[in-house]
Amino acid sequence: MSAITPSPVTLGLGGRLGASKSLLWGGGLTLIWILLALTAPLVAPYDPTAQDLTATLRPPSLTHPLGTDNFGRDVLSRIIWGTRLDLAMGLLALVTPFVAGCLIGLISGYFGGIVDILLMRLLDVTMSFPFFVLVIAIISVLGPGLASFFIAVALVAWVSYARLVRSRVLVLKHADFVLAARSLGYGHLRVMLRHILPNAVLPAIVFAMSDVVITILLGSSLSYLGMGVQPPTPEWGVMIAEGQNFLATAWWICFFPGLAIVFVALGFSLLADGLAERFGTVE
Partner 1 sequence: MALLEVQDLAIEFSSKQGPLRAVDNVSFSVGAGEILGLMGESGSGKSVTCRALLRLLPSRQARIVEGAVWFDGQDLVSLPESEIRKLRGRAISMIFQNPSSHLDPVMTIGQQIAEPLIVHKGLSKAEAKNRAVELLRQVGIPDPTQQYDAYPHQFSGGMRQRAMIAAALSCQPKLLIADEPTTALDVTVQAQILRLLLDLRDQEGLTIILITHDLGVIAQTADSVAVMYAGRIVEQGPKSELLRRPMHPYSEALIRSQPELANPDEALPSIDGQPPSLTAPPPGCRFHPRCNLAVADCATGHFDLVPVAQGRLTACNRWQELRDAEGENP
Q: Where on the chain is the footprint of partner 1 (CB under 8 A)?
A: 1, 4-6, 8, 174-177, 179-187, 190, 194-195, 198-199
User: Would you tell me how many other CB atoms lie within 10 Å of the CB of residue 9?
Assistant: 8
Phi then psi for residue 202, to 5 deg, are: -60, -50
Task: Tell me whether residue 16 or residue 190 sits nearer to partner 1 (CB atom).
Answer: 190
User: Is the Cβ–Cβ distance between 191 and 178 less than 8 Å?
Assistant: yes
Judged by beta carbon, residue 182 or residue 278, the one nearer partner 1 is 182
φ and ψ at 74, to 5 degrees? -70, 120
Q: What is the DSSP letter of 191?
A: I
**Prior bond to 203 cis, omega within 30?**
no
Work out how close the CB of 199 gets to partner 1 at its nearest, in angstroms, rounded to a whole number: 6
DSSP one-letter code for 201: S
CB of 223 to partner 1, least distance (A): 39
Amino acid at 226: G
Rounded least distance, CB 182 to partner 1, Å:
6
Residues in the chain: 283
Q: Backbone phi, then psi, for 7, in 5-degree steps?
A: -65, 140
Q: Compute the least distance from the CB of residue 119 to partner 1, in Å.
A: 18
Q: How far is the CB of 10 from partner 1 (least distance, A)?
A: 10
CB of 59 within 8 A of CB of 74? Answer: no
Q: Which residues contact 131 (CB under 8 A, 6 or more apart)?
A: 156, 157, 214
Residue (5 or 245) nearer to partner 1, CB: 5
Cβ nearer to partner 1, comparing 156 with 192: 192
Give the helix/strand (H/E) hosting 38. helix 21-38
CB of 186 to partner 1, least distance (A): 6
* CB closer to partner 1 out of 19 and 137: 19
Element (H, E) at 171: helix 146-172
Beta bridge partners of 68: 74
CB nearer partner 1, residue 94 or residue 172: 172
Collapsed DSSP state (helix, strand, coil) of residue 281: coil
Q: Give burial (CB, 10 Å; 0-12/13-18/19+) of 103.
A: middle
Whichever of 88 and 175 has its CB closer to partner 1, that residue is: 175
Minimum CB separation of residue 100 from partner 1 in Å reads: 22
CB closer to partner 1, 174 vs 282? 174
In the complex, the smallest distance separating the C-beta of residue 178 from partner 1, rounded to whole angstroms, is 8
